[in-house]
Amino acid sequence: MAQVRKQYREVHAPRTISKALLKSLVESLTEFKPGLPTTHRKLKVRAIGAGRASELEGPESWKVIDPHALAELEQVRVELVLAAIERRHCELHIEFRSGYIALNVADFETGWGKSVFEETRVLLKRLGISSTGINERLRKAYGLLEIFQNVLLALSASLFALWLASRAGSHGFASLALFVAGLMPALTRAFHFLYPPKTAPIFQETVARSGNFAWAEATAVLAFATGVLQLTRALLEVLR
């Protein structure tokens, strides 16, 4: 009989973290959820870089990245298997790549998957590994603007046509704001095409706190909010 598998997954924006944080993560997973009735546990870390792979098991497995040049690391995968009886087990994977940080939990008929997933999310936030804060919220909102980019541009053109016909100030401001919100994703992609951003390393010995603010995302989101407010104002004026 095939096993029933439940999957829980969350992906975060990439970020460079220190070796000390990887050590803290592995040490935290060594005694992760001690109350579970497991028959055995298996913790391992696998690192790939410059065409070479290495793997270690146990509480010292964070040292697997030591033989690698940190700038050449392409992937680091932390895996914890929590085994129950009769081939039932729960697999926890935390994957670090240059393009993302992924948390994945696969539950094979143990019923632990949801709680393991939620507790790991809390652990990643507490360690500062998962992306949080205003920048993350701006990037999520910006992702929605990218999806509706063409719609925003078409709507801004329609509002501009109304403004030309009626010279109503709110239509003009709404048109300009929605045009900026729709245009920013295209400008960002064009800039990255002409000047590709450097790929940040996955790990460093130590990492200073970054003060980089998501200006492009903030500009697009603010323009969108302004456009919606101005459009609402114009509609209220029409309904009076």
Between these two residues, 194 and 197, which has the higher pLDDT value? 194
Least confident of 46-50, 110-114, 206-210: 206-210
Q: Cα–Cα distances in Å, from 21 out to 16, 136, 237? A: 10, 20, 55
pLDDT tops 80 at residue 219: yes
Q: Of 109, 127, 145, at which residue does a domain stop?
A: 127
Contact status, residue 181 vs residue 227, Cβ threshold 8 Å: yes
74 shares its domain with 175: no
Answer yes or no: is pLDDT of 1 > 60. Answer: no
Residue after which a domain boundary falls, among 69, 98, 127: 127
pLDDT at 145 over 80: yes
* Judgement on whether residues 122 and 138 belong to the same structural domain of the protein: no
Residues 227 and 180 in one domain: yes
How many other C-beta atoms are found inside a 10 Å radius of the C-beta of residue 104? 18
Q: What is the mean pLDDT of the chain?
A: 88
pLDDT of residue 213: 74
- Distance in angstroms (rounded) separating the CA atoms of residues 21 and 33: 19
9 and 123 fall within a common domain: yes
Q: Could you report the per-residue pLDDT of 55-105, keeping only the tens digit for each?
A: 999 999 999 999 999 988 999 999 999 999 878 999 999 999 988 999 999
Question: How many residues are present in the chain?
Answer: 240
Do 115 and 226 belong to one domain? no
Instruction: Identify the domain boundary among 97, 127, 157.
Output: 127
What pLDDT sits at residue 212? 66
Angstrom distance (rounded) from CA 197 to CA 99: 12
Range of the domain at 122: 5-127
Instruction: Please give the tally of structural domains in the chain.
Output: 2
Does 209 score more than 70 pLDDT? no
d(CA 235, CA 229): 10
Let me know whether 74 and 156 are in one domain: no
Spell out where the chain has E strands. 5-12, 17-18, 40-49, 52-57, 73-83, 89-97, 101-108, 203-204
Backbone angles phi, psi at 53, to 5 degrees: -115, 145
Q: Token pair of 171, please?
A: 């239509």
| Same domain as 200, residue 221 | yes
Cβ atoms of 107 and 90 within 8 Å: the answer is yes
